[in-house]
Amino acid sequence: MKTFIRKNYPWILFLVLISMASMAGEIINKRFTMSDLEVYHKTAVRLINGEELYRSVEDDPYEHYVYKYSPPAAIIFIPFILIGFPITKFIYWAFLTFILGHVLYLIKLNFLGDKINSKINGSLILAIAIVGTHFFRELHLGQVNILLLWLYVLTLTSFHHKKSLAFGLIIALSLFIKPFGLIFIPFILLLGRYKEFLYMLAFWIVIFFSPLIFYPDLNGFIDLYTSWINELGIELGNKLDLLAAGNHTIFSVLARSTPLRYLHWGDTGRIIYQLVILAILGSLFAYQILKNKRKNKIILIFIMLIAIIPLLAFTSYNAFIFCLPLITCLMFQFGRMYIYSKIIFILSCLFIGANIYDLVGSKLFDLFWEISVYSWGTMGLLILVFLNWNKFNLSS
């Protein structure tokens, strides 16, 4: 342990200092609220009491701070009830900081093994700085995107080491927090890893019925999931505007940046358009998966799938922290890139991480947010990988 800390000291210290400084700033400015975490905390209390989880009369009248996730997801936060919300905020802040560090360590371990030097430490520090604005937003709100990122990287590690049981359990759990993990199902099926899929399905069924512990009455259990489905319908209904500013999906970005913006989108036309884009992206990834089935790019494809999640799901901009594994991986390869690739990489990282309110000011921040600068940065990283596909020699 001492050897590990000594070798990894620079980037670990940087991460801890960033986290502590952010917390100090929140406390000093009286913004240490972690409002989303408070929602999870209240929902966990309601769960153990067998109460209504969705659209409670006690919820925010503006319907922003309401619980939107599945019933089993609330179980995760039950341990925090025992210590009270004020202390929970400190513990969850520290927990998010720890698991972000663990994400970086696992990415390094998967690509470089135990190797560590000044260049690697520098790469990890820069990777933290690039996603710093999204990291702070996650801490400020007490969100779950870093938790999901951690689960995805744990899944990647399990997949790498052929731990089918762990893979199935972690993916199944993640699906009940947010369904983003569905993106990995075609990936494992194309690779013929059916055992992982069956374990995932089995654990999903077990977790699905876990709320019966708190809602033993079958009608109450059914009403619970009915309320969740209704909540999903409300949430999706608020996110159907393809041309809305702040819609950072690739569907919206392409539509807003091309003559497609002048078309009158009906429900059918919007669905067809999105399916066409999905088919193109799916075909591209399927080709690379099948082409590299027995080669050394499978891990790279996996972290590309993680990075593309915020381009497919209409979610908050801090979800672009999912780009961290891909940024870190490319940072390790930076010295081997051609000059044009280095330029694309630097610009993409600036797009993802430099739109900081206190840095660019309110007007520029709003402009960059409206044009989905984070999405352009993510697409730049993905294009960069495809342009240099045969150059990156990453071990699996």
HSE of 278, CA atoms in CB hemisphere, 13 A: 11
Other C-beta atoms lying within 10 Å of the C-beta of residue 115: 10
Look at the alpha carbons of 196, 197, 198, 200 in this order and tell me if their dihedral is positive or negative: positive
Q: pLDDT digits over 121-177, tens only?
A: 999 999 999 999 999 999 999 999 999 999 999 999 999 888 999 999 999 999 999
Tell me if 101 sits within 8 A of 13, measured CB to CB. Answer: no
Q: pLDDT digits over 242-263, tens only?
A: 777 778 999 989 988 888 887 7
205's enclosing H/E stretch is helix 194-208
- Tell me the average pLDDT across 304-322: 92
- Phi and psi angles of residue 265, each rounded to the nearest 5 degrees, phi first: -80, 115
Could you give the angle at the alpha carbon of 374 between the alpha carbons of 372 and 375, nearest 5°? 70
CB neighbour burial string for 67-91, b if at least 16 within 10 angstroms, e if fewer: bbbbbbbbbbbeebeeeeeeebbee
Q: pLDDT digits over 209-246, tens only?
A: 999 999 998 888 998 999 888 887 776 665 567 777 77
Between helix 324-332 and helix 118-130 the angle, nearest 10°, is: 150
- Phi and psi angles of residue 19, each rounded to the nearest 5 degrees, phi first: -65, -45
pLDDT category, 1, cuts 50, 70, 90?
A: low
Q: Is the pLDDT of residue 394 over 50?
A: yes
Tell me if 201 sits within 8 A of 179, measured CB to CB. Answer: no
| pTM > 0.75 | yes
CA 58 from centre of chain = 29
- Tell me the average pLDDT across 295-311: 89
